[in-house]
Amino acid sequence: MQQPTAKPGIYLHPEKLKALRASTPFAAPTQPGWVLISEDTMIGMVTVRQIAKERGLVAEPDKIEWTGRADI
């Protein structure tokens, strides 16, 4: 069995303003555009938006929303 290269954590797609909680490596997105912003899978949206703002990933962090799927 091949080992996953992705990590559990919170991923952000800056262009689509979507955040995804991947609780296992197998749930982590493999599509281009996703950025791992935290390995802590328990952070909330306020923290996701704060990290996105601090790293300059999005112009309007208040518009970031959760998604349940990476293939958005």
pLDDT tier for residue 60 given thresholds of 50, 70 and 90:
very high
Query: What was the pLDDT predicted at 5?
Result: 64
Which uninterrupted H or E stretch holds 9?
strand 9-13
pTM of the model: 0.90
pLDDT tens per residue, range 4-52: 468 999 999 999 999 999 999 999 999 999 999 999 999 999 999 999 9
- Per the structure block, which two tokens stand in for 21? 């909680």
- Domain spans, the chain: 9-66
Instruction: Measure Cα distances from 45 to 3, 18, 33 in Å.
Output: 29, 11, 19
Report the pLDDT averaged over residues 54-70. Answer: 95
Phi, psi of 59 (to 5 degrees): -80, -30
Classify residue 47 as exposed, middle or buried by CB count within 10 Å of its CB (0-12, 13-18, 19+): middle
